[in-house]
Amino acid sequence: MNTKLLRNLGIAAVVVIVTIFAVGSIEQQEQKLDSVENKIEVESVPVENEIEVKNEPVENKIVESVPVEKQIVVKSTECSGDALCFSGKITQIIDGDTVKVDGKSIRFALVDAPELKYDGGQAKQFLEQVCPVGSQVIVDQDDDQLSDKYGRMLGVIYCNGMNLNQEILDSGIGDLYEAFCDQSEFATHYWATKHGCGDSEDEITTQQIQDCDSSYPDFCIPSSPPDLDCGDISQKDFTVLQPDPHRFDGDKDGIGCES
């Protein structure tokens, strides 16, 4: 009985010891697990917001400047009035009284040249000689009549030191457009009055020309009477032909009113 009891107590003790060890083992395992869990840290890996900068070569593009024809306004002694006065190039000669400057049609103020079919292009050929295509010109627009009924600008054109309006009239290939003398800024300019525009003290009328004495070819000196002497006129040292009605050439050497 005692032996059996002791045996049972021994078995029970063994069971208890085993149980204690088992429980302790389990607790140790749990502690290890807790320790492991505590050691596991979620490391926050800093994420760099990397901005990928592509160092692409920047092409230095050369933008070609397209030449733009500009109307260059000029200040010149040849310009008068307040209307446009600009420089440009002759791009086309239409006829004897119309040209194109930088593509714009310009009609010569107070000038009337024959149509091509009437003069065989003589007036146009004259312009082609004195101011060919490509020549640099100055255009002085007429203040009092800016353009004609066809939309062409009216003005005086200067080329190679010449007033082309005057050259056309002086050469005889064109006529003064007298109907517009009272409408043009240039009507009082010398070249216009010389060919018949307006009334000027310097203008020599047809009647005055008829009264000029042939003994004095250098100037228009009227015939006698009245009798004139050197003090009555401003000219000096001029040609005198006989019969010299005013007796300007006292020593008859062919020179009148010698200074």
- pLDDT of res. 223: 80
- Residue 253: both structure tokens together: 């050497």
- pLDDT of res. 210: 52
Average pLDDT over the chain reads 77
pLDDT digits (tens, 9 = 90+) for 183-217: 999 999 999 999 999 754 444 444 445 578 888 87
Show which of 176, 194, 212 is a domain's final residue.
Answer: 194
Q: Are residues 179 and 83 in the same domain?
A: yes
- pLDDT of res. 29: 54
Q: Are residues 215 and 189 in the same domain?
A: no
Q: Are residues 161 and 240 in the same domain?
A: no
Show which of 194, 227, 246 is a domain's final residue.
Answer: 194
- Residue 206: both structure tokens together: 């047809």
Q: Are residues 134 and 244 in the same domain?
A: no
Under a CB-based contact definition with an 8 Å cutoff, are residues 165 and 193 in contact?
no
Tell whether the model's pLDDT for residue 141 goes beyond 50.
yes
Under a CB-based contact definition with an 8 Å cutoff, are residues 222 and 213 in contact?
yes
Give me the number of domains the chain comprises.
2
What CATH number did the domain enclosing 186 receive? 2.40.50.90
Q: Are residues 211 and 190 in the same domain?
A: no
Q: Are residues 232 and 140 in the same domain?
A: no
Q: Are residues 184 and 245 in the same domain?
A: no
Cα diameter, the chain: 199
Q: Are residues 134 and 234 in the same domain?
A: no
Residue 141 lies in a domain: yes
Closest CA to 70 of 88, 83, 90: 88
Q: Are residues 145 and 219 in the same domain?
A: no
Q: How far is CA 59 from CA 53, 63, 64, 154, in A?
A: 17, 12, 15, 50
Residue 88 lies in a domain: yes
Tell whether the model's pLDDT for residue 159 goes beyond 60.
yes
User: Hey, which residues does 90 pair with through a beta bridge?
Assistant: 101
pLDDT digits (tens, 9 = 90+) for 21-75: 655 555 555 555 455 344 434 344 444 444 454 555 444 434 344 344 455 655 5
Domain containing residue 238: 204-259
Tell whether the model's pLDDT for residue 111 goes beyond 60.
yes
Q: Are residues 239 and 168 in the same domain?
A: no
Residue 46 lies in a domain: no
Highest mean pLDDT among 90-94, 215-219, 250-254: 90-94
Residue 86 lies in a domain: yes
Q: How far is CA 157 from CA 10, 38, 96, in A?
A: 142, 102, 13
